[in-house]
Amino acid sequence: MLKQFLSIKLHLNPVLPAREVALFWLSEVGFDVFESEDWGIHAHGELDHIDIDALHNVIQDLEAMADVRCEETRHAEENWNALWESNYEPIYVDGRATMRAPFHPQPETGLDLIIQPAMSFGTGHHPTTFLMLKALLDASVKGLRVLDMGSGTGVLGIAAWKLEAAEVECIDIEARARENGLENYMRNGGAADSESVRFIQGGEEALLGDDRFDLILANINRNILMAQIPAYDRVAAENALIWTSGFFPMDIQILAEHFAEWRWSVKQQLEKDGWSAVCWQKM
């Protein structure tokens, strides 16, 4: 059976602070792809994962701080390609990288990332993807062993490979994510049988006992991050860094308390459109 997806447009007046509150509340009721607009927010998610009653409560609660107009669209997975092709725009990261669809022209300079998404896990246009790409561009990745946990389209792992990481391991619990990530890797010139770049379906159990990574990338969500900290600590090489995103500024203190239990502390923070990314280092 084809998956069904729900997209909503929340027109807010005034936009702030309601848009930032809506981002948090909608992520709690099952939406996982967000586009911040000057009129409000555009959110997407798999219908089976969305609590419709809770969504109605969110809209009612938002009406206490703004005038709210909601537009809903439901569509099947088979219609997703046509939908994203009509709306998909390249992402430019500080003039140093471009994430684009195969039908967009190649940029003249900077890191070129060709990504064709699948609706099951979004397009990669979420602000946290921008933050993690910026973090990669600012890091010294050459020669490192990199883990992309919750890899989705594979964009972060592919970026690390293009930045000359020695080895890259991309892990996602969704089988379609593994397939899509591998397809995108090959679109960028990678070989399906590469021994240095691997796409694996699974969760933290896919991290083997002898795995050691110099850089761990985890763009997931707060609760999963907290649950997986012991696994990250176990596979982190000496002097490794962990970049995490998928949460809000208000979540950083909670995450810091959990990371501190494993002797990791905040090294750097980034923010965009109400979302955060944090780099952790061993104390």
69: pLDDT confidence band, cut at 50, 70 and 90? Answer: very high
Asked whether residue 176 carries a pLDDT value surpassing 90, the answer given is no
Query: What pLDDT is recorded for position 118?
Result: 62
With contact defined as beta carbons under 8 Å apart, do 67 and 13 qualify?
yes
Task: Give the rounded distance of the alpha carbon of 129 from its chain centre.
Answer: 5
120: pLDDT confidence band, cut at 50, 70 and 90? Answer: very low
Residue 270 lies in a domain: yes
Query: What pLDDT is recorded for position 166?
Result: 97
Residue 119 lies in a domain: no
User: Do residues 161 and 269 both lie within one domain?
Assistant: yes
Asked whether residue 38 carries a pLDDT value surpassing 90, the answer given is no
Number of domains forming the structure of the chain: 2
Residue 11 lies in a domain: yes
Residue 102 lies in a domain: no
Residue 113 lies in a domain: no
Hunting for tokens 């070129």 — which residue is that?
112
User: Do residues 187 and 261 both lie within one domain?
Assistant: yes
Average pLDDT, integer, range 36-44: 85
Percentage of the residues of the chain whose pLDDT score is greater than 70: 92
Q: For the whole model, what pTM was predicted?
A: 0.78
- Give the containing element (helix H, strand E) for 138: helix 127-138
Distance CA 216, CA 160 (A): 11
161: pLDDT confidence band, cut at 50, 70 and 90? Answer: very high
Out of 82, 109, 138, pick the residue that ends a domain. 82
With contact defined as beta carbons under 8 Å apart, do 184 and 162 qualify?
no
Digit-coded pLDDT (tens) for 213-229: 999 999 988 888 999 99
Give the structural domain span for 11.
4-82
Average pLDDT, integer, range 118-125: 53
User: Do residues 139 and 268 both lie within one domain?
Assistant: yes
